[in-house]
Amino acid sequence: MRYALTGVGVPGVAMTWTNAKQSLQAAITYVKENPFLDAGVEVLLGEVPVVGGFLTKLYAKAKASGEEDKQVFLQILKGLATHEDRFDRIAEQVSAQGDALTAGLADLSTVAAIVADVPDKLSEINANLTDLSGDMADIKALTRTRAVADAFQFAATLEDDTGRRSELIGRIQTALEEAGHEGDAETVHQLGLFYQMTGQEEMAEAAFLHAIDMDQSLSAAYISLSGLYQMRANTFILQENYGFAEIVMDKAQLYLKAADDPLSAMIDIQLGYNHKEMAQRLRQSQPDRAKTHLEQARIAFTRALAIAPDDPSAENGMGSLLMLDGDYDGAVGHVERAIALSPGYVAAYFDLAQVRYALYRQEADPKEQAVHQLEGLKAYMGVLELAQNGVHLPPDAQAHLDRIYQPMIATLNAKTL
């Protein structure tokens, strides 16, 4: 199963940022939906690469302070989750100063100053957008500095009821569309990303294809298009429209191969999970077709692990795939490594509990059987502990594990009486 809370972790700054962004966004969502002082926040903060320990300590300061500091802390999370350069600045300071940075904070103001938006940020962004739509000579310079992406990320931090958010998003779209008529391929690619982020999927697809036509070496456009097709394929799978899903997955794989870029690991992982899901759904009714998807999933996860060997989603994906194929011994190592890489990864605990139970059922040696039973119970207890901290499996998945392990626990308790 795939219920990952962390992103893909390809070694290097860009992928550290990608992983951090997803973990931070999960923490922000959690804070909004749960009490601020809930322990689940600490679990999610601990998953943030490089700065996780620092943020956990900073969170402790916020808990001990007043409501104003709590809101400042939330703004810090938003700033880190929406601006790569600000995340990098904090990461550099944490790496250089470590605990000394935390110890030296009388309040949250030092960190907030690094990540907070200055009062005239909106004016600065609007000026950049004006330049983008009005001075075609500056298009390449502006897209290289990601002025448009920065503007959209800032828009996402604005409250909906201010009216500024919708106004800024409208300006971004106008600026990009005007620039795209005369701009370079990267500008058109940025326009496609904007369309995708605002739910205009067909417009995004057209923009990505146009960017590729303009510059066939622009790997980012290939990756974006492949990712869009993967999301579309996932929708078809959920709708049980497997024929269309396969067509779209083939297109995604075609553009992914053309990208020839290390960042393609993200899409390989999604491709692997989609193929695995297809195999799982078709293995009873169409076993030959399911076998083909199993092999395609294996290829995708193998490629992803070659590019991103420390990615927990890729490790758990390969483990769950091997489990589906009946290779339980092979699955254990991958799933356990996913947990080692991401201790709060509840889906990996779920898969480990399942694969250990399968090994327990098929093992003839009583000693080995006891080992698998114990390790399975540990994984199950890991799921329960994460649930207490606010990180839950979907109800059907939790019920499945409860049916397996609660009778086992009852039997063991009865033996000790």
Mean pLDDT per 10-residue section of the chain, whose length is 417 residues: 30 51 72 60 71 74 66 72 68 61 49 49 49 41 46 56 60 63 72 78 87 86 88 89 89 80 75 90 92 93 89 92 94 94 91 94 91 93 88 88 91 76
Please give the pLDDT value at position 134.
41
Cα–Cα distances in angstroms (integers) from residue 181 to residues 140, 178, 188, 217, in the given order:
14, 6, 8, 20
- List Cβ neighbours of 242 (8 Å cut-off, separation of 6 or more): 236, 278, 281, 282
* Spatial contact of 233 and 249, defined as CB atoms under 8 Å apart: yes
3-state per-residue secondary structure call for the chain: CCCCCCCCCCCCHHHHHHHHHHHHHHHHHHHHHCCCCCCHHHHHHHCCCCCHHHHHHHHHHHHCCCHHHHHHHHHHHHHHHHCHHHHHHHHHHHHHHCHHHHHCCCCCHHHHHHHCCCCCHHHHHHHHHHHHHHCHHHHHHHHHCCHHHHHHHHHHHCCHHHCHHHHHHHHHHHHHHHHHHHCCHHHHHHHHHHHHHCCCHHHHHHHHHHHHHHCCCCHHHHHHHHHHHHHHHHHHHHCCCHHHHHHHHHHHHHHHHHHCCHHHHHHHHHHHHHHHHHHHHHCCCCHHHHHHHHHHHHHHHHHHHHHCCCCHHHHHHHHHHHHHCCCHHHHHHHHHHHHHHCCCCHHHHHHHHHHHHHHHHHCCCHHHHHHHHHHHHHHHHHHHHHHHCCCCCCHHHHHHHHHHHHHHHHHHHHHHC
Q: How far apart are CA 7 and CA 304, in angstroms?
A: 13
Q: How far apart are CA 14 and CA 307, in angstroms?
A: 13
The single-letter code of the amino acid at 174 is T
Cα–Cα distances in angstroms (integers) from residue 81 to residues 12, 19, 84, 186, 382, in the given order:
17, 10, 7, 23, 28
Q: How far apart are CA 132 and CA 139, in angstroms?
A: 6
Please give the pLDDT value at position 133.
42
Q: How far apart are CA 86 and CA 319, in angstroms?
A: 35
Cα–Cα distances in angstroms (integers) from residue 120 to residues 123, 165, 268, in the given order:
5, 15, 40
Please give the pLDDT value at position 115.
52
Q: What does R_g of the chain's alpha carbons equal in angstroms?
A: 24
Q: How far apart are CA 108 and CA 121, in angstroms?
A: 21
pTM equals: 0.57
Q: How far apart are CA 266 and CA 270, in angstroms?
A: 7
Task: Label residue 121 exposed, middle or buried (CB < 10 Å: 0-12, 13-18, 19+).
Answer: middle
User: What does the block give as tokens for 10?
Assistant: 């390809």
- List Cβ neighbours of 343 (8 Å cut-off, separation of 6 or more): 46, 47
* Spatial contact of 354 and 320, defined as CB atoms under 8 Å apart: no
Please give the pLDDT value at position 186.
79
Please give the pLDDT value at position 9.
28
Residue 209: closest CA among 173, 243, 254:
254
Q: How far apart are CA 205 and CA 226, in angstroms?
A: 10
Please give the pLDDT value at position 152.
56
Please give the pLDDT value at position 288.
93
